[in-house]
A = this chain, B = another copy of it.
Amino acid sequence: MKKRWMICDGCSRTFPFRYDGGICVCGGVLLVQYDLEEIKHSRIRESWRERPATMWRYHELLPVAGTEHIISLGEGGTPLIRLERWEKKLDLDRVWLKREEQNPTGSFKARGFSAALSLLRERGETQVAVNSNGNAASAMAAYAARAGMEAYVFVPRDCPGMILEELVQYGARACLVDGLIHDAGKVVEDGKEEMGWVNVGTAKEPGRVEGKKTMGLELAEQLGWEMPDAVIYPTGGGSGLIGIWKAFTELKELGCVSGDLPRFITVQEVGCTPIVDSIRSGAEKIRPYGATTSRPTGVRVPRPPAGELILSIIRNTGGTAVAVTAEEIAESGKMLGQEGISASPEGSAVWAGLLRLVESGEIGTGERVALFNTAHSLKYLPWKAAATIPEIRSYDEYRALRDVDHAKPEESS
C-alpha cells in the first residue's frame, strides 16, 4: 500500500490522507505527500521511460493507492515542441511549447480529472460535481462517463458554446449559472449534502493538483531532466501552476533534477487580475477581484482559492505576474496559428506574456523558457470563417480571384 498523507503548505502540519477538503483550518492548501525516500532509487527515471507515454507512467508520484482504480482516457504524454523561428527573433536560447490541447477533451484539465476520479473510484463514489469556466467541466464529464459516475457540472452562462456541446456529448447533467465561477461553486457547495455530490472543484480535493503535476514531470523528462529558466503559465484557479511547481520540488528531492527551480510566471487577462495585482502591490493575501470584465476563459477566476500558495511560488522562485489585454491575446492566437498551433485564449495569453516580458527585459538573452498551451482554440471558436472564404467552380474562376489574394490571414479575422 502506498504511503501518502497531507501537509499544509501554510502551517506545515500533517494530516492523514483525505479524499475531500483541500484547505487547512489555517487557510493553507493541503497537498499530498509521499514517502519519497521509499520511491527513490537509482533507476527510477529509466523505469518511467520504459512505460507507455501517459501521465500514469509516474504512478509512484500519484495518489491512487493501487493501479486497478485508474480511470484513463489516454491523458498526458503531450508533445513539447521548440519554436525555433521565435528563439531567433526574441534572442532566447530555447522557447518550448507544451501542447496540452492534445489531451483527451482537448485540454490539460484531463490530467486532473483522471487523477481525481481515480481516487474517487477507489473510495466508491458515484456522484461528482464541479464548478468550472468550461474545460474542467468537459473533462470531468468525460472521465465520469468513463468511470460510470454521474457528473453534475455548473458553468457560467457565457461558457463557450463548443464546450457546452462537449458537456452534452459526454452525458453530463449541465447547468448554466447566472454569475461567475464562484457563483457556480456556491451551487455545488449548497447542494452537495442533499445531492450526495463530491465537490471536485479547485482546492476541494487532492487529485486535481496531483494530476496536473504530471505536466511538470513530463516537462522535466522531455528536457532530459533539466529545468528551464522560466515557466510561463496562465492562471485562473492556479492548480496547474501549483502542480508544476510541486513536480519540480519532488523531482529535486528524488535527485532526478538539480539546480534552482525555474521562475514561475503567471499570466492573466486584464479585467480579472487578482494574482497580478497582489504580486505587483506586494500584498501577502489575495484580494478578490471586484468588477470582473474579462472574457469567459479559464483565467477568469476572481477569487482563486489557493491564492496565497500561488503568490508564494511566484515570489520564492523569483517569478512575476503579467496582465495582458484581450487584443494582445487575439493577436497572439493569430501568431501561434501561423506557427501551426491551435492555441486557446489561455495559451495565447501565455504567448502575449512572453512578448511583454522580453520587451521589458524581464526575460532576457539566452534564456530557456517553457510555455504551456492549455487547450485547443477550437473550443472557443464560433463559426464565422465561412463568410470570408470565396467559393469557386473551377481553376479559371480561381485564377480570376488570385490577385485579390483571398483569405489572407490578415483580412479574415
Contact = CB atoms under 8 A, between A and B. Distances in A.
A10 interface: no
Contact of A162 (B81, B144, B383): B383
Contacts of A388: 168
Contacts of A342: 104-106, 142, 166, 169
Interface stretch (A237-245, A315-323, A371-379): A371-379
Contacts of A38: none
A312 B386 CA distance: 39
A383 B385 contact: no
Given A383-B161, A385-B161, A170 B394 contact: no
A340 B339 CA distance: 30
Contacts of A54: 79
A258 interface: no
A256 B183 CA distance: 57
Interface string A187-206: 10011001100000000000
Interface stretch (A270-278, A296-304, A401-409): A401-409
B338 A392 contact: no
B393 A179 contact: yes
A108 to B, nearest CB: 13
A198 B333 CA distance: 28
Contacts of A171: 337-338, 409
Contact of A178 (B186, B384, B392, B408): B392
A167 interface: yes
B407 A172 contact: yes
B340 A73 contact: yes
Given A383-B383, A407-B172, A337 B53 contact: no
A180 to B, nearest CB: 12
Contacts of A67: none
Give 10 nearest A-B pairs by CB, closest first.
Answer: A74-B79, A161-B383, A190-B395, A53-B53, A142-B340, A146-B340, A169-B337, A145-B340, A176-B391, A171-B409
12 contacts: A73-B81, A73-B341, A105-B342, A141-B340, A145-B338, A165-B384, A169-B381, A174-B406, A177-B391, A183-B393, A186-B395, A194-B399
Interface of A: 49-50, 52-54, 72-75, 77-81, 85, 99, 102-106, 141-146, 148, 157, 161-162, 164-179, 183, 186-187, 190-191, 194-195, 222, 333-334, 337-342, 376-379, 381-386, 388-396, 398-399, 401-402, 405-409, 412-413
